[in-house]
């Protein structure tokens, strides 16, 4: 039986590939569990610094496998959400590399990632309403936090698609490439792995968690997390490397 999710390491990057090209990478329960396991590995192994989530065969993910849905299957992991990701993100950065379509649950997987690189011909949408369904894995709640509310409302109520250029203009994606999205995502990942791992992890944590902090508590809550950065060996190494005009030797400590 073909593996529904493949993983590959490359220079501190863990590439996670949804491998159901014959079904436009529609998400199944097995694939969700495999993605969750890969993300656990990303966080657990110190030499892995950044993850990339992509799809095989020229499509990112077309959403939930409707054949499985009709049989009563739900492509989620308890406590982790759709695709093993939408309700619990990894502590380390995760980049979506999008080719073809990121639709329905596929778009929800994409917006659960921290950064997005897409091919210029990619298409995006939450067309669940066209099937009598709703974008319940973040499309209705997370998307309005990322793009203008009325635009998110239009996407949800019409189910229409938008282009990569429009998604870029809205701030839904970070970079557009004329080449393959995975190569461009690797370049973006390399610019992250060049930095201090603790600084990257804690910066992501603060940016994610501070969205829910009360304004008057923000600096106090940030101050609770920052000592692990500023008192680390890497903070000293980074300063020394700058003074000595050399590349830092990060240890993650």
Average pLDDT score, the chain = 96
217 lies in a domain?
yes
Residues 39 and 134 in one domain: yes
User: Is the per-residue pLDDT at 1 higher than 70?
Assistant: no
Rounded distance, CA 28 to CA 133, Å? Answer: 17
Residues 69 and 26 in one domain: yes
pTM of the model: 0.94
118 lies in a domain?
yes
251 lies in a domain?
no
With H, G, I as helix, E, B as strand and everything else as coil, classify residue 244: coil
Taking residues 136-165, what's their average pLDDT? 97
Taking residues 229-244, what's their average pLDDT? 94
Q: Considering the candidates 87, 108, 169, 209, report the single residue annotated as catalytic.
A: 108
Residues 162 and 133 in one domain: yes
Q: What is the DSSP string of 154-187?
A: HHHHH---EEHHHHHHHTS-SEEESS-HHHHHHH
- Whole-angstrom CA distances from 147 to 111, 113, 248 are 11, 15, 37
Residues 210 and 136 in one domain: no
Residues 14 and 82 in one domain: yes
User: Is the per-residue pLDDT at 165 higher than 80?
Assistant: yes
Alpha helix ranges (H) inside 45-179: 66-70, 105-112, 143-146, 149-158, 164-170
Whether residue 108 lies in the annotated active site: yes
Taking residues 167-173, what's their average pLDDT? 97
Residues 171 and 56 in one domain: yes
Q: Which residues lie below 8 Å from residue 97, measured CB to CB, with a gap of 6+?
A: 52, 53, 54, 60, 117, 118, 181, 182, 184, 185
Residues 80-94: tens digit of each pLDDT: 999 999 999 999 999
Whether residue 128 lies in the annotated active site: yes
Task: Kindly calculate the radius of gyration of the chain based on its CA atoms and give it in whole angstroms.
Answer: 19
The predicted pLDDT at position 41 comes to: 97
Residues 130 and 189 in one domain: yes
Q: Which residues lie below 8 Å from residue 158, measured CB to CB, with a gap of 6+?
A: 129
248 lies in a domain?
no
| Backbone φ and ψ of 21, nearest 5° | -60, -30
pLDDT band at 60 (very low <50, low <70, confident <90, very high): very high
Residues 226 and 104 in one domain: no
The predicted pLDDT at position 66 comes to: 84
The predicted pLDDT at position 68 comes to: 83
User: Is the per-residue pLDDT at 34 higher than 70?
Assistant: yes
Residues 93 and 214 in one domain: no
122 lies in a domain?
yes
Residues 43 and 120 in one domain: yes
253 lies in a domain?
no
Residues 53 and 155 in one domain: yes
Domain tally for the chain?
Answer: 2
Q: Considering the candidates 87, 99, 128, 216, report the single residue annotated as catalytic.
A: 128
The predicted pLDDT at position 2 comes to: 67
Torsion angle defined by CA atoms of residues 149, 154, 160 and 166, in that order, rounded to the nearest 10 degrees: -40
Cα maximum dimension of the chain: 63
Residues 11 and 91 in one domain: yes
Two tokens, residue 1: 């039986």
Q: Which residues lie below 8 Å from residue 58, measured CB to CB, with a gap of 6+?
A: 21, 99, 100
249 lies in a domain?
no
User: Which residue range(s) make up the domain with 209?
Assistant: 197-243
User: Is the per-residue pLDDT at 42 higher than 60?
Assistant: yes
Rounded distance, CA 127 to CA 20, Å? Answer: 20
Q: Which residues lie below 8 Å from residue 77, measured CB to CB, with a gap of 6+?
A: 32, 33, 36, 84
39 lies in a domain?
yes
Strands (E), 21-149: 50-55, 76-77, 81-82, 94-98, 101-103, 115-119, 123-125
């Amino acid at each position: 039986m073909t593996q529904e999710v493949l993983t590959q390491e490359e220079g501190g990057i863990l590439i996670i590939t949804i491998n159901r090209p014959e079904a436009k990478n529609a998400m199944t329960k097995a694939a969700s569990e495999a993605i969750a396991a890969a993300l656990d590995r990303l966080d657990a192994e110190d030499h892995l610094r950044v993850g990339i989530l992509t799809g095989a065969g020229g499509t990112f993910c077309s959403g939930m496998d409707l054949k499985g849905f009709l049989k009563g299957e739900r492509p989620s992991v308890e406590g982790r959400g759709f695709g093993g990701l939408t309700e619990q993100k990894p502590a380390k950065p995760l980049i979506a590399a999008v080719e073809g379509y990121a639709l329905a649950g596929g778009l929800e997987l994409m917006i659960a990632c921290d950064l997005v690189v897409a091919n210029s011909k990619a298409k995006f949408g939450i067309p669940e309403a066209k099937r009598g369904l709703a974008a319940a894995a973040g499309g209705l709640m997370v998307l309005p936090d990322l793009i203008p509310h009325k635009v998110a409302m239009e996407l949800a109520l019409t189910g229409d698609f938008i282009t990569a250029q429009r998604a870029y203009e809205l701030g839904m994606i970070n970079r557009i490439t004329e080449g393959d999205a995975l190569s461009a995502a690797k370049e973006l990942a390399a610019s992250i792995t060049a930095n201090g791992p603790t600084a990257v992890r804690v910066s992501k944590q603060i940016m994610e968690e501070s969205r829910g902090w009360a304004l008057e508590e923000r600096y106090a809550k940030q101050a609770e997390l920052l000592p692990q950065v500023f008192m680390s060996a890497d903070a000293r190494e980074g300063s020394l490397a700058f003074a000595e005009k050399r590349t830092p030797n990060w240890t993650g400590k």
